[in-house]
Amino acid sequence: MLKHGMSVAQAAKYLQVEQSTLYIALQKGQIPDLRRNGRTVVSEGALLDYRARTQTLL
């Protein structure tokens, strides 16, 4: 069975942010999400896009 996304908890760990920060980004539409079996699922590609858009240059 292929994995098509990750939970919000996994996504927060992946981005190294708090879950509340990720939920805010999801609510604002900054990260697209899907509903699977009543759970919010986020794709790795969406997280990579979000990280690229929000990364600050030094």
Q: Is residue 27 part of a domain?
A: yes
What pLDDT shows up at residue 1? 40
- Residue 34: inside a domain: yes
Residues 15/49, Cβ–Cβ less than 8 Å: no
pLDDT per residue as tens digits for the range 15-32? 999 999 999 999 999 999
- Give SS3 for 12: helix
- Pick the closest to residue 19 from 30, 7, 28 (CA basis): 7
Assess if residue 56 is contained within a domain: no
How much is the pTM? Answer: 0.80
Number of structural domains found in the chain: 1
Residue 53 and residue 25: Cα distance in Å, rounded? 12
Q: Which domain holds residue 19?
A: 8-51
23 within some domain: yes
Reply yes or no on whether the pLDDT at 38 is more than 60. yes
